[in-house]
Amino acid sequence: MGEGYVGQLMQILLNAATVASFTVLVAVGFSLILDMTRSFHFAHAATYTCAAYVTFAGTSWLGMPLTLAAPIGVAFCVSLGCLIERLIYRPMRRRGASSLTLLIASLGTYLVVQNVISLIWGDDTRLLRSAAMDEGIEILRGQLTRTSSLAIALGAALPVAVGVLLRSTSLGCAMRAVAADTELARIRGVPTECVILEAFAIASALAGVGGILFALDVNMRPTMGMSALMTAIVAVIIGGVGSIAGVMLGSFLLALAQQIVTWTLGAQWQDPVVFATLLAFLLLRPQGIFGKPLRKRSI
């Protein structure tokens, strides 16, 4: 009985780490864009989905190996994110569009891309992996597949790499300046529009990696991006906007809560526990675990 309990506990932790890896890759990029533009980039969900479907097209339609199709999917995702910023958000910001207007534009962009995906690939669930799921490795009686191992590794390494970039490079310094005060950064000679575009590229790449890993581990549908983004937004609020460490911790705590409630009550309680956690933080600590109180213009 004791060994069985240890195995169940370890499996919950491993499952939580895997789910958190998918979430954190979306959440870090979303937080980066939110911190710099003070607007919710809901079209981020579309880039997440597109990476998986473009990779699927490469492997299924063109017969590419996954090692080639996946980088192409991420590159397409980066291109899409940059096009959305360059062709939609930037002209609207220059015309002085409000945060609400940008929010509506981002939702509209997401819906357009999602429907294009449905038009091309249909609404059926599709599998990106071509082989049966591997047994993976055993850790204290818990099972971890190779895909989950890769997801956990990338979910830890890529956010840390972004943190190092923000703290140790000239681009990161420029991003932090834009996040702190866009107008002052522009006056001081920072090319704010270029910096924001580069932030969109980084965020889209992270989302693309997350979307491909999720499709490899589970399956994919045209609507999967919005579900992932909603969970990521909750993780950002729990961890604190602008704090990568906070977002990583928030993603893991949220995933752990989902796994525990699935184990005890059933999978249908996953979404309620996510938004119950969100409400608790909004009431008790709206700035998140490591975040600072949000400025009014950030909402």
**Could you read off the pLDDT of 102-120 as tens digits, one per residue?**
999 999 999 999 999 999 9
Q: Is the pLDDT of residue 225 over 50?
A: yes
Q: What is the dihedral of CA 7, 13, 17, 22, to 10 degrees?
A: 90
Residue 285: the pLDDT is: 85
Share of the chain above pLDDT 90, in %: 66
Q: Is the pLDDT of residue 292 over 70?
A: no
Q: Is the pLDDT of residue 204 over 70?
A: yes
Q: Which of 55-69, 116-130, 138-152, 212-226 has the lowest mean pLDDT?
A: 138-152
Residue 298: the pLDDT is: 41
Q: Among 31, 54, 223, 74, which Cα is nearest to 82's?
A: 74
Residue 134: the pLDDT is: 57
Q: Among 87, 285, 276, which Cα is nearest to 193's?
A: 87
**Domain parsing of the chain, residue ranges:** 2-222
Q: Is the pLDDT of residue 82 over 80?
A: yes
Q: Among 289, 285, 270, which Cα is nearest to 230's?
A: 270
Q: What is the 3-state secondary structure (H, E, C) of 127-172?
A: CCCCCCCCCCEEECCEEECHHHHHHHHHHHHHHHHHHHHHHHCHHH
> For 27-53, what is the mean pLDDT?
94
> For 159-165, what is the mean pLDDT?
95
Q: Is the pLDDT of residue 144 over 90?
A: no
Would you say the pTM of this structure is higher than 0.95? no
Residue 265: the pLDDT is: 82
Residues 6+ apart with CB under 8 A from 55: 66, 69, 70, 72, 73, 128, 212, 215
Q: Is the pLDDT of residue 296 over 70?
A: no
Residue 178: the pLDDT is: 93
Residues 6+ apart with CB under 8 A from 107: 42, 43
> For 264-271, what is the mean pLDDT?
82
Q: By the 8 A CB rule, do 244 and 159 touch?
A: yes
Q: What is the dihedral of CA 236, 171, 202, 145, to 10 degrees?
A: -80
Residue 11: the pLDDT is: 87
Residues 6+ apart with CB under 8 A from 90: 193, 196, 197
